Amino acid sequence: MKLPVYIGLLDEAEATLASSFRVVADGHGDEPDVHFILQTFAKKCDAHREALKPVIDRYGEDIEGEEEHRLTANGVKEVRSGPLALMLDLQDLYVLVNHIDVTWMMVGQAAKGDRDKELQGVVEQCEGDSEVEIRWLQTRMKQAAPQALLVAE
Amino acid sequence: MTDRIADIWGERTPHGSGQAWPERVDQVLAEGLTDGDVDRWVQSACVLCSNGCGCDIAVKDGKMVGIRGRAQDRVNRGRLGPKGLYGSWQGEQHRDRLTRPLIRVDGELVETDWDTAMGRIVERSKELLASKGPLSHGFYTSGQLFLEEYYALGMLGKAGIGTPHMDGNTRLCTATAAAALKESFGADGQPGSYTDVDECSAIFLYGHNMAETQTVLWARVLDRLDGPNPPKLVCVDPRDTEVARRADVHLPVHPGTNLALMNGLVRELFANGWIDEDYIAEHTANVEQLRSVVEPWTPEKVAETCGVQAADVRRAAEIFGTEDRVLSTVLQGFYQSAHATASACQVNNLHLLRGMLGRPGCGLLQMNGQPTAQNNRECGADGDLPGFRNWENPQHVQDLARLWNVDPGIIPHWAPPTHALQIFRYVEQGSIELLWISATNPAVSMPQLERIRHILDKDSLFLVVQDIYLTETAQYADVVLPCAAWGEKTGTFTNVDRTVHLSEKAVDPPGEARSDLDVFLDYARRMGFTDKDGQPLLDWSGPEDGFEAWKECSRGRPCDYTGLSYDKLRGGSGIQWPCTDGRPGGTERLYTDGEFPTAPEYCESFGHDLLTGATTGETRYKATVQPGKAWLKAIDYTPPHEEPDAEYPLRYTTGRTAYHFHTRTKTGRSRRLNAAAPDPWIEMSVEDAARAGCQEGDIARVTSRRGSLEVPVRVGDIRPGTVFAPFHYGYWDTSDGGAAAGSGTGDPAVVLKSDGGPHRAANELTVTEWDPVSKQPLFKNAAVRVEKLRSGDGPSKAPDTTASRRATGAQ
């Protein structure tokens, strides 16, 4: 049974994403929309971890050999500077959110296979958030790209 | 006519439900003149608030000498408000009027001729287009120009230059109205009509101090309230406004908590079965999601969050749920606050749940703050595509390209239009190097003014300002273009209930001033903007050509003007769009059949996530839409981002007074209006003033994380915990930066750079943050502290006739 490995990965990835959201939010305080919305997203990650807790209590987090299973990078530790900084930082978040999105999908599949109602409920409650986060990141990067790539210096 | 400074709303002419609003003609002529002295009357409509009152301008010896309401006009039936009566022509005849173009030479603005001024602009513009491309250009316009001017600006920006960086100050006043209408109904356009005031059995005003912002519309409400079978009145406002005083239920919510209240009101409709199941099934989508979002918001939870009584929440919901003809109006208390679009959408939802749209008295007015804001939105000067077209719909872009005979690639449609605060951010970062500001004054009206002044002052920026006076903003310009004002040029404009008026030129502009339209046409000509066949892009010879061109652009769209013409608008009353060959008299109400413009090929927007502003996108929209049905959209409430704390314990909100419009460019130059409200103030409750050791008239310092004000205290009936400042006041008429809160005539450029610093404009304190969907700034959510600076030498000069009057029972 390897589901606990993935639940552990998910929990860790949510923690990494939350701190990455906060790093980018703090580092781009001059972009108020980015600043506030990423804080909102970070709180959602916290809520996801909270929702996962009872499941983790039940399955345990299999951290055995975690390093070799780990898929993600360490997340965003500091923001960049310069005219491309915002776009590149958002793009990093985009990779992290997509990673989480597909991880939830796979955990959701296992929950269905296992007829685990509690975990299915958690997945249902959380997986929509990454979809909105992806759309928001796309919306914001779409807006930023022409200016950053064509005229910013 | 009574003195309308003291008697703002004038004599009552009561009317009962379903009766026509009686005529009452208001008129002011210059001192010493009588009707017999007037050479001629010229048809127009008033531009000193968003109401759109039909009027005639009196002309004698080539000068404007008076104003009179048009009795036959559907909007006002002859009435005018204090601003129109005392500030319309009077505010334009001040000696400060700009009469010649100015250019900056060795750091100073000096007079020049048009050829030199326009030559400078065109030279810089061409240079930047060659070296950096179209994204180096930004345009920031107004809610106070005419339709033809916006359309010209929209065309030159979108098909001449090709920049997405276009917006108007409508972003600060009415963006949420447009956003909420698009999210709920698929396209902009007010469902309701002012005549719904005459027909309704209940009126809800959400964050809308109508008594001061649209005084003539409020007179219409007062006439219902004082007539037989008056409507019930519900007011959501933290201040004890005139509206609140007349209300059956007043909900003085904490600023920033509107959404909690709205979710609670919607919940009560569900909980009590006050909903129209058939209408919901046939004409709406998403009801189950709405039901689940509002479920936690019991009246008790609303009471706790918003600081109101649970019984009042129940009572308000009961009125909405049980009256058979409800009219709702919404304005800045919702639009400039947290969760603006989501809160405004909940008002739409209340009407959808009860099927209260498209019938007499069942109206919805997502109000505008300015007289011509609607046209800015229609014509695309605010970044949207003209004719309520959808930038995400390739067919709509093709339609425009065909109409203009240009390559569709030049029309910026690859990303959302750049909103005002983002335009300023790009200037701050140096990537927009030419900013052209027309008929607006961001140095006073934008949030966080210290930052805005730095941006306007940037060396990398080439700033063009066109206006009628040398505003605080114009002080920073590289080129200042003197423009014609209302009554000095011809054009049309449209108010919130879709009434289109023609405003004819009555007199010549002063000196060398030109109409804004002439300026835009001249720029397009000098830049050599052409269509695909090499013909001039803008070949109009005047405003009527522009109107005819616009009619074609609007054809088949929700705002269809094709049945209108200048001739048809002359005489009689204004006419409501859509007006077509099939509907030659215009259209009183939209959505009479419950059919909404949400079909993917027709809608103006595919919508957004209300929490984040993420776009829905074409694929997702097409997969989920039920064409013709309205969307019931909702999100849960979360607290605003800046809430009171130990350091800044009070909530700060800004707003308007009846006697001034915007940054007082005109009204501050009207002797009567200026005397009625000459100086800024800060409004505090009795408790908060006592805690700060302040008495009426004492000078206080109000500090937020962004800056501070030093203004007299008005101890009033505002709810405890919240303080209010009028946003109108800037620095053009002070000599001391406002530190002593006195009026005078000084040199604002000096004032702004003085050591004392500017402490008079309410927006020194406001925060740079905006609603995620409408991008409207949050002027009504900040935390401040107040401390006494020194004793005053008498009461503050805040008006005693309005919401700012002294506290009940105060000395």
Q: What is the CATH number of the domain that holds B558?
A: 3.40.50.740
User: How close does chain B come to A141, measured CA to CA in Å?
Assistant: 9
Tell me the residues of A at the B interface, defined by beta carbons under 8 Å apart: 30-33, 36-37, 39-40, 83, 132-133, 135-136, 138-139, 142-143, 145-147, 150-153
- Tell if the CB–CB gap between B611 and A132 is shorter than 8 Å: yes
pLDDT of residue B808: 82
Are residues B80 and B31 part of one domain?
A: yes
Specify the CATH number for the domain of residue B184: 3.40.228.10
pLDDT of residue B744: 35
Does residue B644 fall inside a structural domain? Answer: no
pLDDT of residue B809: 65
pLDDT of residue A2: 86
pLDDT of residue A62: 65
Chain B residues with beta carbon closer than 8 angstroms to that of A150: 132-133, 135
User: How close does chain B come to A39, measured CA to CA in Å?
Assistant: 10
State yes or no: pLDDT of B197 exceeds 80.
Answer: yes
- Pairing mode of beta strands B232-236, B249-251: parallel
Chain B residues with beta carbon closer than 8 angstroms to that of A40: 611-612, 638
List phi, psi (to 5°) of B349. Answer: -65, -40
State yes or no: pLDDT of A44 exceeds 60.
Answer: yes
**B270 or B383, which is more confident:** B270
Q: Write the pLDDT tens digit of every residue in A116-128.
A: 999 999 999 998 9
- Tell if the CB–CB gap between B772 and A132 is shorter than 8 Å: no
Are residues B208 and B84 part of one domain?
A: no
Nearest to B197 by CA among B415, B20, B445: B20
Are residues B349 and B201 part of one domain?
A: yes
State yes or no: pLDDT of B376 exceeds 70.
Answer: yes
Are residues B423 and B557 part of one domain?
A: yes
Does B409 touch chain A if contact means CB atoms closer than 8 Å?
A: no
Does residue B8 fall inside a structural domain? Answer: no
pLDDT of residue B747: 42
Share of chain A above pLDDT 70, in %: 92
Which among B132, B614, B770 has the least Cβ separation from residue A151?
A: B132
Are residues B455 and B507 part of one domain?
A: yes
pLDDT bracket for residue B810 (50, 70, 90): low
- Tell me, what DSSP letter sits at residue B801? S
State yes or no: pLDDT of B562 exceeds 60.
Answer: yes
Alpha helix positions (H), B510-634: 516-527, 543-554, 566-569, 618-624
- Tell if the CB–CB gap between B135 and A146 is shorter than 8 Å: yes
- Tell if the CB–CB gap between A143 and B416 is shorter than 8 Å: yes
Instruction: Please give the Cα distance from B67 to B374 (Å, whole number).
Output: 24
How many other β-carbons are positioned within 10 Å of the β-carbon of residue A57?
A: 9
How many other β-carbons are positioned within 10 Å of the β-carbon of residue B16?
A: 12
Does B605 touch chain A if contact means CB atoms closer than 8 Å?
A: no
Are residues B186 and B118 part of one domain?
A: no
pLDDT of residue A70: 65
User: How close does chain A come to B792, measured CA to CA in Å?
Assistant: 38
Instruction: Please give the Cα distance from B636 to B627 (Å, whole number).
Output: 26
- Tell if the CB–CB gap between A150 and B133 is shorter than 8 Å: yes
pLDDT of residue B415: 80
- Tell if the CB–CB gap between B425 and A153 is shorter than 8 Å: no
- Tell if the CB–CB gap between B609 and A135 is shorter than 8 Å: yes
Specify the CATH number for the domain of residue B785: 2.40.40.20
- Tell if the CB–CB gap between A139 and B768 is shorter than 8 Å: no
User: How close does chain B come to A44, measured CA to CA in Å?
Assistant: 12
Burial of B105: CB neighbours in 10 Å, binned 0-12, 13-18, 19+: exposed
Answer with the one of B523, B556, B576 that is the final residue of a domain. Answer: B576
Q: For chain B, what is the mean pLDDT?
A: 95
Whether ipTM > 0.90 holds is: yes
Residue pair B657/B799 in contact by the 8 Å Cβ criterion: yes
pLDDT bracket for residue A69 (50, 70, 90): low
Does residue B373 fall inside a structural domain? Answer: no
State yes or no: pLDDT of B737 exceeds 80.
Answer: no
Question: Tokens 């993917």 — which residue?
Answer: B600
The secondary structure of chain A in percent helix, strand, coil, rounded to multiples of 5, reads: 80, 0, 20
Question: Tokens 């240079």 — which residue?
Answer: B127
State yes or no: pLDDT of A79 exceeds 70.
Answer: yes
Are residues B424 and B358 part of one domain?
A: no
3 state SS of B565: coil
Does B616 touch chain A if contact means CB atoms closer than 8 Å?
A: yes
Does B769 touch chain A if contact means CB atoms closer than 8 Å?
A: yes
Which among B426, B614, B641 has the least Cβ separation from residue A136?
A: B614
Give the count of alpha carbons within 13 A of B568, CB side only.
Answer: 16
Tokens representing B148 are 């033809």
User: How close does chain B come to A62, measured CA to CA in Å?
Assistant: 35
Residue pair B141/B440 in contact by the 8 Å Cβ criterion: yes
Q: Write the pLDDT tens digit of every residue in B636-662.
A: 999 999 999 999 999 999 999 999 999
Parent domain of A42: 3-151
User: How close does chain B come to A65, measured CA to CA in Å?
Assistant: 38
Specify the CATH number for the domain of residue B46: 3.30.200.210
pLDDT of residue B366: 97
Q: Write the pLDDT tens digit of every residue in B238-266.
A: 999 999 999 999 999 999 999 999 999 99
3 state SS of B522: helix
Are residues B38 and B132 part of one domain?
A: no
Does B551 touch chain A if contact means CB atoms closer than 8 Å?
A: no
* Helix H or strand E encompassing B108: strand B108-111
- Give the total number of structural domains in chain B: 4
State yes or no: pLDDT of B751 exceeds 60.
Answer: no
State yes or no: pLDDT of B583 exceeds 80.
Answer: yes
Mutate to test the interface with A, among B161, B428, B612 (most CBs of A within 10 A): B612
Are residues B567 and B474 part of one domain?
A: yes
Q: Write the pLDDT tens digit of every residue in B143-194.
A: 999 999 999 999 999 999 999 999 999 999 999 999 999 999 999 999 999 9
Q: What number is the average pLDDT over the span B33-42?
A: 98
Are residues B106 and B88 part of one domain?
A: no
List phi, psi (to 5°) of B604. Answer: -85, -20
* Helix H or strand E encompassing B462: strand B462-467
pLDDT bracket for residue B746 (50, 70, 90): very low
Share of chain A above pLDDT 90, in %: 80
Q: What number is the average pLDDT over the span B779-786?
A: 96
Which among B430, B432, B614 has the least Cβ separation from residue A139?
A: B614
**B307 or B751, which is more confident:** B307
Q: Write the pLDDT tens digit of every residue in B68-98.
A: 999 999 999 999 999 999 999 999 999 999 9
State yes or no: pLDDT of A115 exceeds 80.
Answer: yes
Does B415 touch chain A if contact means CB atoms closer than 8 Å?
A: yes
pLDDT of residue B95: 94
Cβ within 8 Å of residue B276, ≥6 positions away: B353, B354, B355
User: How close does chain B come to A125, measured CA to CA in Å?
Assistant: 13
Are residues B193 and B71 part of one domain?
A: no
- Tell if the CB–CB gap between B431 and A153 is shorter than 8 Å: yes
Instruction: Please give the Cα distance from B494 to B373 (Å, whole number).
Output: 8
User: How close does chain B come to A139, measured CA to CA in Å?
Assistant: 6
Q: Write the pLDDT tens digit of every residue in B683-726.
A: 999 999 999 999 999 999 999 999 999 999 999 999 999 999 99
- Sheet containing strand B575-576, strands side by side: B491-494, B499-503, B575-576
Chain A residues with beta carbon closer than 8 angstroms to that of B426: 147
- Tell if the CB–CB gap between B615 and A139 is shorter than 8 Å: yes
Specify the CATH number for the domain of residue A43: 1.20.1260.10
- Give the total number of structural domains in chain A: 1
Q: What number is the average pLDDT over the span B411-421?
A: 92
pLDDT bracket for residue B752 (50, 70, 90): very low
List phi, psi (to 5°) of B365. Answer: -125, 100
Does residue B151 fall inside a structural domain? Answer: no
Cis ω on the peptide bond leading into residue B578 (within 30° of 0)?
yes
State yes or no: pLDDT of B626 exceeds 70.
Answer: yes
pLDDT of residue A65: 60
Does residue B745 fall inside a structural domain? Answer: yes
Parent domain of B325: 175-367
Are residues B141 and B237 part of one domain?
A: no
pLDDT bracket for residue A67 (50, 70, 90): low
pLDDT of residue B332: 97
- Tell if the CB–CB gap between A40 and B611 is shorter than 8 Å: yes
